[in-house]
């Protein structure tokens, strides 16, 4: 009997030890990110002081605006939603070794395709119409990822160039479509509203937070699962980390890269569809203030890890939603938010600097 208890005790101890070593590992991994964020806020405070504002008041207003009440939280998550999609898009392609910097364009075509399906059908039940529109968005985004993928596979065209250029194509093509063939009457460049049956429900009235956030969160889990637990994810990671060895191991690099870029595009497209179906209920020209680019930054700030992406996207969403409140309450110009975002990115992108600072601070164990 005593033997058994002892065994159980040892087992529990082992489990705990594993848990804590895992926790330490994770913390160690995200510590540079956390420090980068803190450093950015500190540098932002200096900017605020120099321009004659109180950092405490400004940041206080920002925090209250972003998380102080249900409305703020709703706005924060509304702002975070599309960035989660585009950040996951960047992350997925990146895991296969590709730089998809065209999430902006994939988001736009996805949004437009969803709008098109939303407008074109009437009288469908929601449970048919919504998936149809979402699917259209994903397919359009996927197509926008497939083009650079096939150009890379067949002609060796670098995806950084092609994805970026295709973003402009998407911008102008949707711009034309929304200004001419599909323009709703009136002076705004927008399509007519989508059928109510294609609308994603708002889940936190009166904010614009829609069910798209749920899809985003599911996608975070799905991305993690795909990369870590599936055969395909294994292949994608192998290709990204060492294509030559992956090839020796019988993995088709071409196939893996094409699929990864298509999936990446589809994720961004789905994000566009979510915006159109959940927030705007139509395609409005210029509805994206650069979600695609924010996605890239968020993916990096999130440590190229799906869960990290979720957290980083919420941070960026909070900066946007809280920033507006901060401006209204304290008169601090909204530009400080852009400065903060830029600083976060700068500090995250400068891991050498962070490591150096850590070393000076005595955290020697981190730099190894």
Partner 1 sequence: MTTAIEMNGITKTFPSVVANDKIDFVVEKGEIHGLLGENGAGKTVLMNILYGLDRPDEGQIFVNGKEVEMDSPATAIKLGIGMVHQHFMLVPSLTVAENIILGKELTKNKVLLDMNRMLNDVKDFCERYKLEVDLKAPVYTLPVGVQQRVEILKALYRGADILILDEPTSVLTPQEVEELFKAVRALKEQGKTVIFISHKLKEVLAICDRITVLRRGKVVGAVKADETILGELAETMVGRKVVFTFKKKRIKTREVVLKTENLKAIDDRGLPALKGVDFEVCAFEILGIAGVEGNGQTELVEVLTGLRKATEGKILVDNNDITKASPGERIRLGISHVPEDRHKRGLIPDFSVMENLILGSHNKPPFTVGRVRLNFEKISNYAKRLIKDFSIKTPNKDTPVRHLSGGTQQRVVVAREFSRKPKLIIASQPTRGLDVGATEYVRKKLVEMRDQGCAVLLISADLDEIWALSDRIAVIYEGEIVAIKDPEKTSERELGLLMAGGKSG
- Contacts with partner 1 by CB under 8 A lie at 229-232, 234-235, 237-238, 241-242, 244-252, 368
Q: Cβ of residue 137: shortest distance to partner 1, in angstroms?
A: 25
Least separation in angstroms between CB 91 and partner 1: 16
Nearer to partner 1, 256 or 274 (CB): 256
Are the C-beta atoms of residues 259 and 67 closer than 8 Å to each other? Answer: no
DSSP state at residue 239 = H
Return the H-helix or E-strand segment holding 212: helix 212-229
Which C-beta is closer to partner 1: that of 179 or that of 367?
A: 367
Q: Which is nearer to partner 1, 251 or 353 (CB)?
A: 251
The residue among 140, 125, 298, 329 whose CA lies nearest residue 216 is 298
Q: Is residue 121 helix, strand or coil?
A: coil
Cα–Cα distance for residue pair 252/244, rounded to 1 Å: 10
CA angle 358, 315, 290 (to 5 degrees): 115
- Whether the CB-CB separation of 135 and 116 falls below 8 Å is answered with no
What gap in Å lies between CA 53 and CA 76, rounded to an integer?
24
**Rounded to an integer, what distance in angstroms lies between the CA atom of residue 276 and that of residue 147?**
23
Shortest reach from residue 141's CB to partner 1, in Å:
23
Packing angle, helices 70-95 and 306-330, rounded to 10: 140
> Least separation, in Å, of the C-beta of 92 and partner 1?
17
> 309, 84 in Cβ contact below 8 A?
yes
Q: Look up residue 293 and give its two tokens.
A: 């680019």
Tell me the closest approach of the beta carbon of residue 305 to partner 1, in angstroms: 14
Minimum CB distance to partner 1 smaller for 20 or for 168: 20
Measured from the CB atom, the residue of 100 and 226 that comes closer to partner 1 is: 226
Q: Which is nearer to partner 1, 228 or 338 (CB)?
A: 228
Nearer to partner 1 among residue 111 and residue 233 (C-beta) = 233
The two most distant CA atoms of the chain are separated, in Å, by 82
Instruction: State which residue, 251 or 339, has the beta carbon closest to partner 1.
Output: 251
Tokens 């507006």 locate to 324
**CB closer to partner 1 out of 13 and 229:** 229
Cα–Cα separations (whole angstroms), residue 24 to 15, 49, 123, 299: 14, 36, 54, 22
We find the least distance from the C-beta atom of residue 226 to partner 1, in angstroms, to be 10
Other CB atoms within 10 Å distance of the CB of residue 162? 21
Residue 196: how many CB atoms within 10 A of its CB?
11
């Amino acid at each position: 009997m005593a033997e058994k208890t002892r065994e159980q005790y040892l087992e529990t101890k082992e489990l705990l030890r594993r848990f804590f070593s895992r926790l330490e590992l994770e913390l160690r991994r995200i510590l540079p990110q956390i420090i980068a964020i803190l450093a950015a806020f500190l540098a932002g405070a200096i900017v605020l002081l120099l321009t004659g504002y109180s950092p405490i008041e400004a940041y206080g207003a920002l925090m209250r605006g972003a998380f102080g009440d249900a409305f703020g939280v709703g706005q924060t998550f509304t702002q975070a939603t599309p960035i989660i999609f585009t950040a996951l898009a960047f992350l997925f392609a990146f895991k296969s070794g590709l730089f998809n910097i065209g999430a902006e364009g994939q988001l736009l075509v996805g949004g437009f395709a969803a709008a098109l399906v939303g407008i074109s059908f009437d009288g469908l039940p929601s449970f048919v119409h919504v998936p149809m529109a979402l699917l259209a968005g994903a397919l359009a985004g996927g197509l926008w990822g497939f083009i650079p993928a096939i150009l890379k596979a067949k002609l060796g065209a670098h995806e950084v160039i092609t994805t970026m250029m295709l973003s402009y194509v998407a911008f102008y093509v949707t711009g034309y479509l929304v200004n001419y063939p599909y323009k709703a009457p009136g002076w705004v460049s927008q399509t007519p509203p989508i059928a109510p049956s294609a609308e994603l429900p708002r889940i936190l009235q009166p904010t614009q937070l829609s069910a798209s956030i749920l899809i985003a969160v599911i996608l975070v889990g799905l991305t993690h699962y795909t990369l870590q637990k599936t055969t395909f994810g294994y292949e994608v990671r192998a290709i990204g980390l060492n294509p030559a060895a992956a090839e020796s191991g019988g993995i088709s690099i071409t196939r893996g890269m094409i699929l990864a870029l298509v999936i990446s595009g589809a994720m961004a497209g789905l994000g566009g569809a979510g915006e159109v179906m959940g927030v705007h209920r139509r395609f409005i020209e210029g509805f994206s203030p650069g979600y695609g680019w924010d996605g890239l930054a968020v993916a990096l700030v999130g440590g190229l890890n799906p869960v990290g992406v979720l957290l980083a996207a919420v941070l960026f969403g909070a900066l946007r939603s809280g920033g507006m409140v901060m401006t209204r309450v304290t008169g601090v110009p909204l530009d400080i938010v852009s400065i903060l975002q830029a600083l976060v990115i700068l500090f995250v992108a400068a891991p050498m600097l962070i490591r150096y600072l850590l070393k000076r601070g005595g955290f020697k164990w981190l730099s190894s």
